[in-house]
Amino acid sequence: MCGIVGVVGQVPVNQTLYDALLLLQHRGQDAAGIVTQQDGKFFMHKAKGMVRDVFRTRNMRALPGTSGLGQVRYPTAGNADSEQEAQPFYTNAPFGVVLVHNGNLTNAQALRQELLAGDPRHINTDSDSEVLLGVLAHELAQATRGGELGPEQAFAAVAAVHRRLRGSYAVVAHIAGRGMLVFRDPFGIRPLGFGRGAGGAVMAASESVALEGTGHVFERDLAPGEALFVTLDGTVHARQCAERPSLSPCIFEFVYLARPDSVLDGISVYQARLNLGQTLAKRVISTVPPSEIDTVIPIPESSRPSANELARMLGKPYREGFVKNRYVGRTFIMPGQAVRKRSVRQKLGVIASEFAGRNVLLVDDSIVRGTTSQEIVQMAREAGARKVYLASAAPPVRHPNVYGIDMPTREELVAHGRSVEEVRQIIGADALIYQDVQAMKQAVASVNPRVTRFDASCFDGVYVTGDISEGDLVRLNAERPRVSAVSDGAD
Ligand SMILES: O=P(O)(O)OC[C@H]1O[C@H](OP(=O)(O)OP(=O)(O)O)[C@H](O)[C@@H]1O
Ligand SMILES: NC(=O)CC[C@H](N)C(=O)O
Ligand SMILES: [Mg+2]
């Protein structure tokens, strides 16, 4: 998952794009980039780092224009260290196209070969998003055949793109002097919505919080497979471009990725997390007698709503036992295991008095590699806890994710090939309680019953695109982001 945003406005948009990227920072901490457009010319600045570090005043001044787009990157393919792979990507033909992508293509290598052989088109990086740009540019050229580009041609190109791409993709592109093209894959795996602001500005973004936090009124999510073409005067054209769209959003967005103040596909992320806490309470009660639990303590940040609701259901005090250093980012989306492990200790401080002599139930939203849980359980014990129970608002993560979350090898997943008891021993807790897969799906779906299917592949091994073989999992693992020994040291 990355965060993407695009705007067509009537006044300069550099600050709006910057503000939107800050609101999406939790979706990607590795690199950030913005392109603006003025008089048919693109102006780009992108680099590795967080939004605040990437854009200095001089960079912002060099981003003029009333339309543009931006991205915060969390690499899922290619090279995590490469400045070149920061987004947006640009190609000069046809017309001049810039693009930002959230998701992961599962047939990027085959498409790369097609582009090199058939078009031929040069791809300068290992990023799947640059391949996506190549395919889009090719299809735009096919749809216009030397003529002008309007909504019809843009939609024809997206329809052709849908026929060629596999995997997940939420995309915002600008076509120089013509307009903004926004589209979502036929399963709607990654989120994407749009809204309007002052003076008829149109913004599309990964999460509703980016729209609302920049003074836009959220209008709606894009349907799976749908495309919008927004002309530079702010007129929005919409079209379903997929043959068999079927909404199956990634359930991990609701568990961990998205901000709780966002609403995605009509589902309040906060309400979904409260519901997960409720259903988890039932599992806890059947595993640990409530009389054995003194307090419920969240593992900040993402587990808070679930922990709060779980405590209410158990009738136990909800207490803060860990304090998050707000200057350390999210650990799960950091590249490399050594840095993730170090960061848990840097990120979370212990309030020892909350643990001394108590039986505590720690709650996390998910346990993936087990890095956080192992450290946290140890910290609770060091602070004097008598018993340390751990509950996870999500079920065991047992399968690789191929749609934009960087956890593709099974070997990395603490729950893969292990029983809950074996995981409990590794983590060192006195009891370990996981959510059940069906209960998780029901808890999230009950917020918006119109969403009946989710991509929950990392929990149940069912890949919604229906085309992922064992061989694909091996190949996709080889394509995952590489982290240099300098920036990590353990992987
Ligand atoms: O089992 P692991 O591999 O450690 O991954 C799971 C942990 O990582 C995430 O926290 P993170 O620090 O990324 O972000 P948060 O502050 O939003 O909870 C998640 O909330 C879990 O705590
Ligand atoms: N997390 C994402 O959406 C990643 C986008 C793209 N696959 C990249 O690696 O840059
Ligand atoms: Mg966490």
Closest CA to 68 of 102, 25, 34: 34
- The pLDDT score that the predictor gives to residue 333 is 65
- Distances in Å between the alpha carbon of 275 and those of 256, 305, 435, 446, 483? 14, 9, 11, 8, 37
Cross-strand bridge partners of residue 204: 6, 194
- The token duo for 91 is 């190609």
- The pLDDT score that the predictor gives to residue 453 is 97
CB distance 36 to ligand 1 below 6 Å: no
Cβ-based burial of 204 (10 A; exposed 0-12, middle 13-18, buried ≥19): buried
Catalytic residues: 2
Ligand 2 atom with minimal separation from the 27 CA: 1
Q: Phi-psi category of 215—alpha, beta or left, where left has phi over 0 and alpha has psi -120 to 50?
A: left
Cα 28 to Cα 69: distance, rounded to the nearest angstrom: 15
Report the separation in Å between the CA atom of 45 and the middle of ligand 1, taken as the mean of its atom positions: 30
- The pLDDT score that the predictor gives to residue 487 is 40
Cα 166 to Cα 469: distance, rounded to the nearest angstrom: 13
CB distance 367 to ligand 1 below 6 Å: yes
Ligand 2 atom with minimal separation from the 87 CA: 10
CB distance 2 to ligand 2 below 6 Å: yes
Longest Cα separation, the chain: 76
Cα 28 to Cα 87: distance, rounded to the nearest angstrom: 11
- Whether residue 419 is annotated as binding a ligand: the answer is no
Cβ-based burial of 68 (10 A; exposed 0-12, middle 13-18, buried ≥19): buried
Please name the residues in contact with 286: beta carbons below 8 A apart, sequence gap of 6 or more. Answer: none
Report the separation in Å between the CA atom of 330 and the middle of ligand 1, taken as the mean of its atom positions: 7
Dihedral pair phi/psi, residue 73, rounded to 5°: -105, 140
Domain residue ranges in the chain = 3-248, 268-453
Half-sphere exposure of 388 (CA within 13 A, CB side): 24
- The pLDDT score that the predictor gives to residue 142 is 96
Task: Supply the DSSP symbol for 212.
Answer: H
Our measurement of the distance from residue 199's CA atom to the centroid of its chain's CA atoms, rounded to an integer in Å, reads 30
Closest CA to 87 of 72, 107, 97, 106: 72
Cα 389 to Cα 429: distance, rounded to the nearest angstrom: 6
Cα 53 to Cα 471: distance, rounded to the nearest angstrom: 40
- The token duo for 378 is 């140890």
Please give the model's pTM, rounded to 2 decimal places. 0.95
- Whether residue 39 is annotated as binding a ligand: the answer is no
Cα 32 to Cα 74: distance, rounded to the nearest angstrom: 9
Q: Whose CA is nearest to atom 8 of ligand 1?
A: 332
Third-level CATH fold of 3-248: Glutamine Phosphoribosylpyrophosphate, subunit 1, domain 1 (3.60.20)
Q: What is the mean pLDDT of each run of 10 residues along the chain (491 residues)?
A: 95 98 96 97 97 96 98 86 92 97 96 89 93 97 95 98 98 98 98 96 98 98 98 98 98 97 98 98 96 97 97 98 86 68 82 98 96 94 98 96 82 93 98 98 98 97 92 84 48 30
Q: Assess contact for 221 and 265: CB atoms under 8 A.
A: yes
Please name the residues in contact with 121: beta carbons below 8 A apart, sequence gap of 6 or more. Answer: 115, 134, 137, 138
Q: Which one of 3.40.50.2020, 3.90.730.10, 3.50.50.60, 3.100.10.10 gives the CATH number of domain 268-453?
A: 3.40.50.2020
Length of the chain counted residue by residue: 491
Q: Kindly provide the ipTM of the predicted complex, given to two decimals.
A: 0.96
Instruction: Residue 485: count other Cβ atoms within 10 Å of its Cβ.
Output: 9
Ligand 1 atom with minimal separation from the 330 CA: 13
- Whether residue 302 is annotated as binding a ligand: the answer is yes
Which residue has tokens 């002008």? 148
Report the separation in Å between the CA atom of 72 and the middle of ligand 2, taken as the mean of its atom positions: 9
- The pLDDT score that the predictor gives to residue 191 is 98
Report the separation in Å between the CA atom of 147 and the middle of ligand 2, taken as the mean of its atom positions: 32
